[in-house]
Structure 1
Amino acid sequence: MEASSKDWRYTVMPAVFTWLKESESGVLEIDLEATQKYAADILKVQGKHGTRMGGLVGSGTLGENSYLSSEQRLSLLKALSSVANEYNVPLISGAAAETKEELAKIVKELATVGVDTVMVMPPKTKVAPSDEQMYAYYALSAAAAKEAGITIMPYNNPDAAGYHALSTDLLTRLAALPEVTALKISTIDVSVIETMILENKDLKVLAGVDTVTVHAGLAGACGGITGVGCIFPKASITMQEYVNNGEWAEANKISQAMNSISYLDAQPLLLEYLKFAFGIHHNDANGGLRTFGKKLTQPQIDDVRARYIKAKERLEILGLID
């Protein structure tokens, strides 16, 4: 397999949900056909200026990743690979491990089912590694990716890692690895992005939180990975189009319209919240409540519904509902 040569600049990519169904015995299992259908539906959508999503992220946080077995994850990604190939976009998925050797093995496994780029989370350790230990962890994953003919994307997500964010010095060193396609930064402090871009204007950084799309663009990010964009893809793509063109006022109108629901992307229960909102959007609210994650309370359900309705009403005024 050859490493993906698709241009990652100026794009937004959906972190798609893993759709579930009840088996005859009442056990939840992955609905591969539904997951493929919804992923394809998102990739079909165009923004107001004619562009589409630039990639497909599967089995991430919003894809129930932490609840899936290795076998389930590989089966899911193989199914999503066919969708990504149909729309000529890279397939991205995440990986994390306690040791660099275990991580290298996972990277190679993901390559066998069609993953083009692996988002590499920091090590799953109780004690934060030193910068040198962290670099070695990512460097071995890069070597494994090179051997498998794919690329990696270091993923700076301190909340998920459970310890401090990766330093800008370390991120800059990681970005220099030939196998690194881009950096994903999940933070509301976009000054981190700007600091790195000032040092290297050619650096490719993707924002990982929907609430900061416009500000991340101002700081120099070349795009983002979106959860809300699965629900309102036309709005998400169009907002990125405006960001790319430097039309900040127009981009900000869309950002403000989606504020009520984008807020959910930065919450600990983002999977449960956004998946339910996605279910409402597709007239399948009960399906949206099917998750391996936590069960939502009635007040939480009511809050998500109200936030979804408010965002939809605002986006309808802007002509951005598919």
Structure 2
Amino acid sequence: MSIQWNGVMPAVFTWLKESKSGALEIDLDATQKQAVGILKTQGKGGSRMSGLVGSGTLGENSYLSTKQRLSLLRSLSEVAKEYNVPLISGAAAESKEELAKIVEGLATVGVDTVMVMPPKTKAVPSEKEMYEYYALAEATAKDVGLTIMPYNNPDAAGYHALSTDLLLRLSVLPKVTALKISTIDVSIIETLMLENKDLKILAGVDTVTVYAGLAGASGGVTGVGTIFPKASVTMQEYVLNGEWAEANKISQALNSLSYLDAQPLLMEYLKLAMGIHHNDVAGGLRTFGKKLTQQQIDDVRARYILAKERLEVLDLIG
């Protein structure tokens, strides 16, 4: 599949259900249904989401077993094929060898591109170690017919952002087709684009969609767009057309909810908002992650209601 990396891609939630024993397990049918609803939604300009991200941060990647992760992605690959979009999966590991095995496994379940998180190590890796980690992932991807997307996420990694020098070195590897930058500091995107105007860069934080587009990003991976896909796709249409004022109206309307995308409990917060949106609060609270307090639940609800009211004025609920 030829991937253009222009547009916005939803990072879908992994919906859960209670088994007979009371334990939580993946609800594949509900997760598929959620993904279909998002991918079939059109923006005001007629475009749709340009990819599908499964088993990422919002998909509870760090809590899933290998078996659960592969089962989830195999299920989502059916949806991605139906809508003719690439399936992207997150991947994180402590060592380059472990990462290579993960990439090999993802190739067996219909994944097209792997978003590769920085190494999960206690000690901060050296620039050399970091390059070798990504280089082996790229070489493995080449062997199994995938591509990779280095994922610059300092908050999730727990240490400093990948340097622009390292990102530029990685970007020229044959099977690196895009970079994902998950930070509110969009100057990183601008610096990278000044060095190589042909780079494909995806923004990973919903609050900076418009600013990232101004800096040169060709698209983004969205969490809020899973809840309000029409708004997210339309905002990206305006960004790609350079209609900044119109794009900013949508960004401001979404702001109360987008704010949560940059918080440590983003997965728990946004999953609850998704549950509220679909009148399934209980489902939105089912997670392998942290249990939210009543104060946090009330805050998410208030933020969701405010965003919805603002989007209704713009005719962007759908």
What CA distance in whole angstroms lies between the structure 1 residues aligned with 2:315 and 2:241? 19
Match of 1:8 in 2: 5
Amino acid at match of 2:48: R
Deviating more after overlay: 304-313 vs 17-26: 17-26
Match of 1:299 in 2: 295
Match of 1:140 in 2: 136
CA deviations 1:205-260 (Å, max 9, x no partner) are 00000000000000000000000000000000000000000000000000000000
Which consecutive aligned stretches of 4+ in structure 1 deviate over 3 angstroms post-superposition?
A: none
Q: State which of 157, 161, 164 in structure 1 corresponds to 2:153.
A: 157
Q: State which of 206, 211, 218 in structure 1 corresponds to 2:214.
A: 218
What CA distance in whole angstroms lies between the structure 1 residues aligned with 2:146 and 2:92? 17
1:194 correspondence with 2:190: yes
Q: Secondary structure at the match of 2:58?
A: helix
Q: How much does 1:24 deviate? A: 1.4
1:27 correspondence with 2:23: yes
Q: State which of 161, 166, 173 in structure 1 corresponds to 2:162.
A: 166
Amino acid at match of 2:167: L
Match of 1:107 in 2: 103
Q: How much does 1:126 deviate? A: 1.1
Q: State which of 268, 272, 280 in structure 2 corresponds to 1:276.
A: 272
RMSD: 0.6
Q: How much does 1:25 deviate? A: 1.4
Q: How much does 1:154 deviate? A: 0.1
CA deviations 1:72-125 (Å, max 9, x no partner) are 000000000000000000000011111111111110100100110000011111
Q: How much does 1:262 deviate? A: 0.2
Amino acid at match of 2:120: K
Match of 1:265 in 2: 261
- TM-score, with length taken from structure 2: 0.99
1:256 correspondence with 2:252: yes
- TM-score, with length taken from structure 1: 0.98
CA deviations 1:12-46 (Å, max 9, x no partner) are 00000000011111111100000001001100000
Match of 1:238 in 2: 234
Amino acid at match of 2:42: Q
Match of 1:317 in 2: 313
1:98 correspondence with 2:94: yes
1:77-88 correspondence to structure 2 within 5 Å:
77-88=73-84
Unpaired runs of 5+ residues, structure 2, are none
What CA distance in whole angstroms lies between the structure 1 residues aligned with 2:182 and 2:263? 12
Q: State which of 126, 131, 154 in structure 2 corresponds to 1:130.
A: 126
Q: How much does 1:6 deviate? A: 2.3
Q: How much does 1:131 deviate? A: 1.1
What CA distance in whole angstroms lies between the structure 2 residues aligned with 1:134 and 1:263? 30
Amino acid at match of 2:60: E
Match of 2:48 in 1: 52
Unpaired runs of 5+ residues, structure 1, are none
Q: Secondary structure at the match of 1:92?
A: strand
Q: Secondary structure at the match of 2:148?
A: strand
The count of aligned residue pairs is 318
Q: Secondary structure at the match of 1:268?
A: coil
Q: Secondary structure at the match of 1:154?
A: strand
What CA distance in whole angstroms lies between the structure 2 residues aligned with 1:98 and 1:23? 31
Q: State which of 270, 278, 281 in structure 2 corresponds to 1:285.
A: 281
What CA distance in whole angstroms lies between the structure 2 residues aligned with 1:134 and 1:25? 43
1:177 correspondence with 2:173: yes
